[in-house]
Chain A
Amino acid sequence: MIRMIRPLFAFMVALALPAQAEINIQEVTSPGGITAWLVEDHNIPFTALEIQFRGGTSLDAPDKRGAVNLMTALIEEGAGEMDSLAFAEARDSLAADLSFGSYDDSVSVSARFLTENRDQAMELLRQALISPRFDQDAVDRVREQVLSNLRSNEKDPDTLASEAFNALAFGDHPYGSSGDGTTATVTALTRDDILAAHKGALARDRIYVAAAGDITAAELGTLLDTLLGDLPATGAPMPARADWLLAPGVTVIDFPTPQSTVLFGHAGIARDDPDFFAAFILNEVMGGGRFTARLMSEIREARGLTYGIGTYLATLDHSEMVLGQFSASNDKVAEAVTVLRAEWARIATEGITEEELATTKTYLTGSYPLRFDGNGSIASILVGMQMEGLPIDYAVTRNAMIEGVTLEDTKRVAARIFLPEALHFVIVGQPVGL
């Protein structure tokens, strides 16, 4: 198949990194109108491709909960003329890596393929996306795997904690239940339900694409139409905004284990809120992924109450939260909760120090360019930026937005995003004194 194409270049952005290199992000629009972000790098003869479809498991109807998840797990189980085994053999013969995942707000496709057999690998992926077979024997086999996972989740403290927290926070909204479904809903899913989930979730009106590696803009432009052009134009309607239902308090779920798992949090801040960067810095000081964060210092380093504790700003498409998690022995968890409450109150009233602000800015701005360190990581960052609605020059402007946050901003926003009176703790285990 040979077609002449002229992809359109809307933007070309150079991200200056601290040393000599820079990274060029191109926006490529295919003749058929599908847009992708691309970083060309011809050093290694392969390409990393990331595709996200907005919506994900939240598109499930209540009585079909788990349909999008099961459908996603079946995409690779036979397509076109190939049954499951034939498809897997074809994929492995090309040494192409294809993986598919379903999440609250998206279905993701990650692919890695060699330049030498790119067309064949992409034809395989095209068939999987456009014409998956969903053979009944494959549906039944993979359904058993999903049911096995569901049974495991019933004995897994982390899953028990998050499912309880989500149910309390979101009730009947899709966020309030597991996207994997329940034993009852998954058992009842039919092949028609899987076909409907496929049609609803994988559509062109919700697609985001990024590529990095050994491919030119023209080649990518062709590829986009070949790969995705035959998907339906529109998919299932998006869910509504999720109301926040979680009252302050402590919920204990009895579970026979020497160490309690604790999930805590309250309502949060939206990704497009003008105060988001101040909140981002505050969270980093409080519970970011570092040993110097306040909670790690106070709860692990100073008191030895846990192996690890972290917090993050969860920005979902239809809600936002400030969340945190740790584990502590049953006899220590009450003390850890007390320290945590005190830290929550302290940052809400006092904010952070000038020094904390300065060192956190240095860390965040210094570490950001280090993320762009390979085709795989670049493609996944670029698709994530698009999903969050960020502009293509975000990689260049982001550090300036971090730098622009003042101590006054952090003080004002700390009182807004850390709400000691609103905290709810879900504790799975046999905590003493709670």
Chain B
Amino acid sequence: MPIRTGPIATLFAAFAALSASFAAADPVTSFTLDNGLQVVVIEDHRAPVVVQMIWYRVGAADEPRGHSGIAHFLEHLLFKGTDKIGPNEFSAMVEAQGGDDNAFTSWDYTAYFQRIAADRLDLVMGLEANRMRNLRLTEEDVATEREVILEERAQRTDSDPGSLLSEQMRAAQFMNHPYGIPVIGWRHEMEQLSRDDALSYYERFYAPNNATLVIAGDVFPEDVKLLAEKHYGPLAPTADLPPRERSQEPPQLAERRITLADERVSEPYVFRTYLAPERDPGNQAEAAALTVLAELLGGSGQTSVLARALQFDSQIAVYSSAFYDGTGIDDATFGLILVPAADVTLETAEAAMDQVVADFLKTGPDPAALERIRMQIRAGDIYARDDVNALARRYGEGLSVGLSIEDIESWDAALSAVTEADVMAAATKVFDRKNAVTGWLTRPVAEGEASE
């Protein structure tokens, strides 16, 4: 199904963070053009394929207040046409060469990519460079595409009670930081997004000095440099790019609790998030410890601490997990989720989950479990080399949130270096209920029925 884009952060999106985030052994080269465009080349000569990704350092957390969804809406509109590319011709031109293209938006970045035969790189670089500065939009394009994003919201969020709960919880987790705004946008604000909103945002943020270009696959850095200079070199930078300083969270003093009752819910669950630190340039140790902590607590459906306690030693839950993804500019979240067995209430399930965490804080990690995770980290590095698209994404994302290439490449070393003491220190700090949001997804209580 052809799906152009969407907010990539959904409830379960961060589960696979560990296995897909280790540095490559493949040659990586980087250089910067005179106009400020940073270029990264990842070589993989096994197949004659190339992927081009352009990552703009702007996302939903950079939107003007009251215009939620504009970053993602603009991403849709980038396919409409330019001074040289006819309406809706962009994808057609890529497809005519056997390529595929798409895009995605998150809080910290907006990215566009094409995957095509390596000898067609010149063409797609020309197309992508052209739409960085020369977008043409009609009122009609904007009106029709606004209907598409509203349908997208209906499909991905409004039709799914779990997505609605996550959206509400996020808004409660971030009381002051724009991470609390959904990437897709709040419906009432999406309905008002205009052509002017889109163009002013575009002109300010879509510039070579606000972007990272990643070219990965069967290419050589010297060839990519020539092409980058030819296509992107002539583009003018934006002179007065603002620093990415978002309003920060105040001290969070009280746990927030949310219950979303919806008749479309079949399996109720309890979902807890804690505010957690993100990866910082030059200092990834705590984020690495949190990543390992999530893996220990909920990474495996069999051997993790939660699964073992709540699915094996007792039959409280049918599913449990823990997750953390620290790749962002500002604060991240650490999450726990539990789907109780059919005859177990959410109250009982939540208490059992908290008991597991409390016990873990007393006993600490099993050294053998930590050793298995280290082995998987090392293997993950090998498996990752099979997927050059994922590698390109890792570099593009990391650089877009302010990490350096060195940070990205030393991430697996940071993970491997995590000790039992590091895990305990990170756990003790992160499991603070004052920083937490607890969500219950339930069915409505029918009349005459006792509440849980």
Contact = CB atoms under 8 A, between A and B. Distances in A.
B241 interface: no
Given A141-B312, A370-B116, A363 B95 contact: yes
Given A92-B375, A155-B264, A359-B92, A327 B47 contact: no
A292 B91 contact: yes
A401 interface: no
A136 interface: no
Nearest to A97: B383
B388 interface: yes
B338 to A, nearest CB: 12
Nearest to B46: A43
A44 B386 contact: yes
Given A151-B266, A369-B48, A94 B375 contact: yes
B2 interface: yes
B165 to A, nearest CB: 14
Nearest to B376: A95
A290 interface: yes
B2 A290 contact: yes
A32 interface: no
A362 B116 CA distance: 12
B346 to A, nearest CB: 14
Interface in B88-114: 88, 91-92, 95-100
Given A44-B382, A258-B154, A306-B151, A366 B2 contact: no
Given A359-B92, A369-B48, A304 B318 contact: no
Contacts of A303: 144, 147
Interface in A264-299: 288-293, 296-297
Nearest to B154: A259
A144 B48 contact: no
A253 to B, nearest CB: 13
Interface string B335-359: 0000101100000000000000000
Nearest to A41: B46
B145 A304 contact: yes
Interface in A355-405: 359, 362-370, 372-376
Given A21-B48, A145-B318, A307 B151 contact: yes
A302 interface: yes
Interface stretch (A82-90, A164-172, A339-347): A82-90
B117 A92 contact: no
A85 B387 contact: no
B160 to A, nearest CB: 9
Interface string B140-152: 0001111111111
Nearest to B97: A366
B27 to A, nearest CB: 13
B356 to A, nearest CB: 16
B393 interface: no
A370 B117 contact: yes
Interface stretch (A12-20, A194-202, A242-250, A417-425): A12-20
A332 B154 CA distance: 12
Nearest to A376: B386
Contacts, number: 212
B265 interface: yes
A292 to B, nearest CB: 5
Contacts of B156: 307
Interface string A301-325: 1111111111000000000000001
A421 B146 CA distance: 33
A147 B343 CA distance: 13
Given A19-B48, A148-B319, A304 B92 contact: no
B142 to A, nearest CB: 11
Q: Is the interface of A mostly helix, strand, loop or mixed?
A: mixed
Contact of B300 (A88, A296, A327): A88
Contacts of A366: 97-99, 116-117
A141 B315 contact: yes
Contacts of B388: 373-374
A259 B158 contact: yes
Contacts of B308: 85
B315 A144 contact: yes
Nearest to A358: B96
A141 B312 CA distance: 8
B375 A85 contact: no
Nearest to B264: A155
Contacts of A20: 48
B212 to A, nearest CB: 22
Given A148-B267, A306-B151, A376-B386, A370 B98 contact: yes
A205 B265 CA distance: 43
Interface string A69-82: 00000000100000
Given A84-B302, A259-B159, A363-B98, 5 more contacts: A92-B373, A154-B266, A290-B2, A329-B151, A369-B49
Interface of B: 1-4, 45-49, 79, 88, 91-92, 95-100, 115-119, 143-152, 154-156, 158-159, 218, 263-267, 300, 302-303, 308, 311-312, 315, 318-319, 339, 341-342, 368, 371-373, 375-376, 378-380, 382-383, 385-388
The 10 closest A-B CB pairs, nearest first, are A366-B98, A304-B147, A19-B48, A95-B379, A88-B302, A155-B266, A307-B152, A259-B154, A310-B1, A374-B386
7 contacts: A152-B267, A154-B266, A292-B92, A304-B143, A304-B151, A332-B151, A376-B387
